[in-house]
Amino acid sequence: MTEEIIIAGFGGQGVLSMGKILAYSGIMQDKEVSWMPSYGPEMRGGTANVTVIVSDERVCSPILNAFDTAVILNQQSLDKFEDKVKPGGYLIYDPNGITHKPTRKDIHIYSIEGAQLASDMGNSKVFNMIILGAFLKVRPIIDNKNVEEGLRHSLPERAHKLIPLNMQAVQVGMDNIKAEN
Amino acid sequence: MAEITLQDIIQPENLVYEKSKLLTEKPFHYCPGCGHGTVHRIIAEVLEELGVDDRTIGVSPVGCAVMAYDYFDVDFVEAAHGRAPACATGIKRVWPDKVVFSYQGDGDLAAIGTCETIHTCNRGENITMIFVNNGIYGMTGGQMAPTTLVGMKTATTPYGRMPQWPDGTPNNGFPLQITQLLAQLPGTRYVTRQAVFSAAAVRNCKKAIKKAFQNQIENKNGVNFVEIVSNCNSNWKMSAVDANKWLQDNMLPVYPLGDLKDNFELIKK
Amino acid sequence: MGELKLMKGNEALAEAAIRCGADAYFGYPITPQSEVIEYLSEQNPYERTGMVVLQSSSPGVCLKQEGLAYIAGAEVPCVFADVVRGGPGLGTIQPSQADYFQNTKGGGNGDYRNIVLAPASVQEMADFVPLGFELAFKYRMAVCILSDGAIGQMMEKVVLPEQKARLTEEEIKAKYPWALTGRKRGTQHRVITSLDLDSARMEEHNRHLQRKYDEVTKNEVRYEMIDCDDAEYVFVAYGSSARIAQKSVQLGRAAGLKVGLLRPITLWPYPTQAIRNLIDKGVKGFLSVELSCGQMIEDVLLACNGRAKAEHFGRVGGIIHTPEEVLEAMKKQIIGE
């Protein structure tokens, strides 16, 4: 099993930390992983993306041109990465702020109202965990208990009390993802 | 009465002065009358008196004193040009119990190494910095240094150092009073300017250098900085005696002697 | 087995430096390696091992070249890391491999060499620090860990080595009698210098250095071969480019091409003989894949010495080549349609 994933959105949406939690969860499930961010001089507000690879074998290139799954959180990222999903692959996006929807017919397209659901939960910071849950529903490559373990390793000790809330958000994502085609 | 021979005079009880044991047998390559030899001797005597020769590490510069390591019987590093204070910082941070000193001329400390000098002093490293200022590049044949006096002729200012052209546009700049500058930094503990042109000056200079090492041994922080205004009779193109006279008449008004800072307090004049 | 963690390459390098008992780190924050000094500052290694961390005024490996020449002449061991960004000058903060010449061919003055280790994973960022120190002290010379923005910034799982203590002064005196610790009374004082104005002695010193470098060349060449056993065409790539080319090998093999990868781990000494052995076994051509305009290709060409075709392919300016375009370049430039 090798799953090559791009997660892309605005800086500040928790793109990089979602990738990090996914990678850590992969380690907890005894997988090989890599996490490769795009980086730039801007600290906030610019576009941010991260390539995460979870595999049974040693990961070769951490930098890719084609992905099994794209997790898309803004329009610029959709414009940039829709074409880079492998035929038969998956595209998961949050419709919030999307003006031109994805159009490809040869891939599986799903939507998740992450921003809205996070707001309903009363905590905008769990947005990225909702998205992660949605992803794991479609691509069940990691067990929930290993996601919890991954959270424990990637969050600092003082934030461990927030793990139940985060796992709840993962569940909300899993319950609310919709197939679009 | 038997005639007194030389052998009769060379007796331990007649000894009034001897060379420091911390100076090697290697003859100095310095020009006769140059201040370096005297400053070396003072440092060796001070280290011997303080009994720290077995935990001292010196850092020599690039310039006339590049081979200072041949003359001192203590461990020595020869640093890249201008980098002696950075090198000394590294040694002292890794070996806080060692006695570490840098030894530099004005081209090394106040030109190519200004950055290292200022930052070492600003960090307040617990080291002793010895700065021999003769207002000229000696080893390379007498070119202008940042400390060269206005009007002074050197190989690169053959008509005399002219800070600005007559129309006011910049030219050679002004003599850099780096010691005054360093005294302003909160990281310097002891800053003093000394000379070695006379026996009295040598005595004062030795007191200052001893204090600069004692401070390092007794404390945990603060640069102890000793400038020695010296001559370069070869490149000044004077006899050794004339050079010392010229130094007093011309160098000292620009670089006046005395303590500038003690125990982190500026000394008001 | 040591501790398993998910870390950035830069963090792994910093943690490994603490764990292998390094004395001191002198650095300057520059993208893409700022995490090294940030991590060290946060970890407070002074309390863990007594390791000193100091921000120096050396904004870049360019400025360190002066010191590296002195280190070579004075035969002082040290390990330095270059997480390469694009140049020349300020260039870009994105990854690059354009400092190959600078680190493998010199950069400072004089006839000298540095051992250059090229990590291709976060694990190797950690592993090459203790290896670097081992080689640096064995041969009394500088060892460069030549990485790039991609390896420095990416996260992978890494098994960290056990914490070792810094050497004590007594251990240093016993193991490294040349180290300055203060002259013991009644013994000869020691000097660390690169200067000797006596030409005969200086010539002998240079010969001595060259004999040492020959010894390093004989003993320390390291490389990895992937799918080279039956390969007709071989990618030569190090660091992040090797990771990408490994994927190109997979894509090529899937398309029925007999392609392999030679990954130099030491860039100096270079695995020249490994390339010659591949030619003996029937490899017809090599593609040197680098994030540069063609630097390592010169060493590949020297190794080939006209016996096999070799060309360069690489993106620059912070653009990273994709596995697909690397394979395409192999087909077009080396295999021929």
- Is the pLDDT at C283 greater than 90, yes or no? yes
**Which of A34, A63, A153 minimises the CB distance to C320?**
A63
Tell me the CATH number at B247: 3.40.50.970
Q: How much is the average pLDDT of C150-173? A: 93
The CB density around residue C324, as the number of other CB atoms within 10 Å, is: 15
Residues of chain B found within 8 Å of residue C169, distances taken between Cβ atoms: 95
Q: Which of C56, C109, C191, C201 to mutate to test the interface with B (most CBs of B within 10 A)?
A: C191
Tell me the CATH number at C245: 3.40.50.920
CB contact under 8 A, B56 and C182: yes
Judged by a CB distance cut-off of 8 A, whether residue C157 touches chain A is: yes
Cα angle B203, B206, B210; round to 5 = 145
CB contact under 8 A, C247 and A27: no
* pLDDT at residue A40, rounded to an integer: 59
Half-sphere exposure of residue C142: CA atoms within 13 angstroms, side-chain side: 26
Residues of chain B found within 8 Å of residue C26, distances taken between Cβ atoms: 90
Judged by a CB distance cut-off of 8 A, whether residue B73 touches chain C is: yes
- What values do phi and psi take at C233, rounded to 5? -135, 135
From the DSSP assignment, how many helices (H) and strands (E) are in chain C?
13, 14
Residues of chain C found within 8 Å of residue B55, distances taken between Cβ atoms: 181-182
Last residue in a domain, options C160, C181, C205? C160
Which residues are registered as beta bridge partners of A4?
A53
CB contact under 8 A, A62 and C324: no
Is B226:B257 a contact under the CB 8 Å cutoff? no
Q: Does residue B191 belong to any structural domain of this protein?
A: yes
Tell me the CATH number at C134: 3.40.50.970
Residues of chain C found within 8 Å of residue B100, distances taken between Cβ atoms: none
- Is the pLDDT at C31 greater than 50, yes or no? yes
- Is the pLDDT at C331 greater than 80, yes or no? yes
- Residue among A39, A54, A46 at smallest CA distance from A5: A54
* pLDDT at residue C62, rounded to an integer: 82
Percent of chain B with pLDDT over 70: 100
Which residues are registered as beta bridge partners of A93?
A72, A111
Is C131:C105 a contact under the CB 8 Å cutoff? no
Supply A113's token pair. 């109202």
Q: Can you spell out the DSSP letters for B115-130?
A: HHHHHHHHHT-S-EEE
**Which of B73, B79, B95 minimises the CB distance to C183?**
B73
- Which residue of chain C is at minimal alpha-carbon distance from B24? C189
**Which of B53, B54, B78 minimises the CB distance to C192?**
B78
* pLDDT at residue C61, rounded to an integer: 82
Is C330:C248 a contact under the CB 8 Å cutoff? yes
Task: Look over chain B and give the mean of its residue pLDDT values, rounded to a whole number.
Answer: 95
CA distance to A32, A149, B193, C197, per residue, from B184 (Å): 57, 55, 14, 39
**Which of C4, C5, C153 minimises the CB distance to A37?**
C153
CA distance to A11, A111, A117, per residue, from A125 (Å): 13, 19, 11
C10 & C136 share domain: yes
User: What is the residue whose two structure tokens read 């067990």?
Assistant: A143
How far is C149 from chain A, CA to nearest CA, in Å? 10
Cα–Cα distance, C143 to C139 (Å, whole number): 10
First-to-final CA distance of chain A? 25
C39 & C111 share domain: yes
C149 & C244 share domain: no
- Residue among B48, B63, B37 at smallest CA distance from B213: B48
Q: What is the pLDDT along chain B (269 residues), one digit of tens a residue?
A: 678 888 888 888 989 899 999 999 999 999 999 999 999 999 999 999 999 999 999 999 999 999 999 999 999 999 999 999 999 999 999 999 999 999 999 999 999 999 999 999 999 999 999 999 999 999 888 999 999 999 999 998 989 999 999 999 899 999 999 999 999 999 999 999 999 999 999 999 999 999 999 999 999 999 999 999 999 999 999 999 999 999 999 999 999 999 999 999 999 87
C154 & C228 share domain: no
How many residue pairs bridge chain B and chain C with CB atoms within 8 Å of each other?
A: 75
Q: Does residue B18 belong to any structural domain of this protein?
A: no
Chains C/B: 3 or more C-beta pairs closer than 8 A?
yes
Supply B56's token pair. 């001292």
Burial A27-58 (b: 16+ CB within 10 A, else e): bbbebbbbbbbbbeeeeeeebbbbbbbbbeee
What is the span of the domain harbouring residue C102? 3-160
* pLDDT at residue C58, rounded to an integer: 41
Residues of chain C found within 8 Å of residue A36, distances taken between Cβ atoms: 150, 153-155
The length of chain A, given as a count of residues: 181
Cα–Cα distance, B9 to B136 (Å, whole number): 43
Is A166:A128 a contact under the CB 8 Å cutoff? no
Residues 6+ positions from A155 with CB-CB distance below 8 Å: A162, A163
Residues of chain C found within 8 Å of residue A33, distances taken between Cβ atoms: 6, 155-157
Q: Does residue B7 belong to any structural domain of this protein?
A: no
How far is C320 from chain A, CA to nearest CA, in Å? 8
How far is C166 from chain A, CA to nearest CA, in Å? 28
Task: Look over chain C and give the mean of its residue pLDDT values, rounded to a whole number.
Answer: 93
Q: Does residue C189 belong to any structural domain of this protein?
A: no
Residues of chain C found within 8 Å of residue A65, distances taken between Cβ atoms: 322-325
- Which residue of chain B is at minimal alpha-carbon distance from C183? B54
Is A13:A49 a contact under the CB 8 Å cutoff? no
What is the span of the domain harbouring residue B68? 29-266
CA distance to B106, B168, C24, per residue, from B148 (Å): 9, 20, 38
Judged by a CB distance cut-off of 8 A, whether residue C187 touches chain B is: no
Interval A120-161: pLDDT, tens = 999 999 999 999 999 999 999 999 999 999 999 888 899 999
Residues of chain C found within 8 Å of residue A46, distances taken between Cβ atoms: none
Cα–Cα distance, A77 to C94 (Å, whole number): 20
Is A177:A169 a contact under the CB 8 Å cutoff? no
C147 & C13 share domain: yes
State the pLDDT confidence band at C337, using cuts at 50, 70 and 90.
Answer: low
Cα–Cα distance, B159 to B221 (Å, whole number): 44
CB contact under 8 A, C193 and B77: yes
Domain locations along chain A: 2-179
Residues 6+ positions from A59 with CB-CB distance below 8 Å: A2, A32, A33, A34, A53, C156, C243
The predicted model scores a pTM of 0.88
Q: Which of C38, C96, C154 to mutate to test the interface with A (most CBs of A within 10 A)?
A: C154
The CB density around residue A175, as the number of other CB atoms within 10 Å, is: 12
CATH number for region A2-179: 3.40.920.10
Interval B133-144: pLDDT, tens = 999 999 888 999
- Is the pLDDT at A88 greater than 70, yes or no? yes
Which residues are registered as beta bridge partners of A6?
A51, A70
Structural domains counted in chain C: 2
SS3 A81: helix
DSSP-derived pairing of the beta strands A2-10 and A85-93: unpaired
**Which of C56, C180, C189 minimises the CB distance to B86?**
C56
Q: Does residue B22 belong to any structural domain of this protein?
A: no
Cα–Cα distance, C145 to C133 (Å, whole number): 11
Q: Which of A18, A32, A60, A142 to mutate to test the interface with C (most CBs of C within 10 A)?
A: A60
Cα–Cα distance, C192 to B58 (Å, whole number): 10
Residues 6+ positions from B194 with CB-CB distance below 8 Å: B201, B204, B205, B208, B209, B226, B227, B228, B229, B257
Judged by a CB distance cut-off of 8 A, whether residue B55 touches chain C is: yes
- Is the pLDDT at C59 greater than 50, yes or no? no
C156 & C299 share domain: no
How far is C222 from chain A, CA to nearest CA, in Å? 19
ipTM exceeds 0.95: no
Structural domains counted in chain B: 1
Q: Which of C7, C85, C92, C157 to mutate to test the interface with A (most CBs of A within 10 A)?
A: C157
**Which of C67, C190, C195 minimises the CB distance to B75?**
C190
**Strands (DSSP E) found in chain B:** 56-60, 75-78, 99-105, 128-133, 136-137, 143-144, 188-195, 223-229, 258-262, 265-266
Q: Does residue B14 belong to any structural domain of this protein?
A: no
Interval C67-79: pLDDT, tens = 999 999 999 999 9
How far is C156 from chain A, CA to nearest CA, in Å? 5
Is C322:A6 a contact under the CB 8 Å cutoff? no
C228 & C123 share domain: no
- Is the pLDDT at C46 greater than 90, yes or no? no
- Which residue of chain B is at minimal alpha-carbon distance from C56? B86
Is A173:A133 a contact under the CB 8 Å cutoff? yes
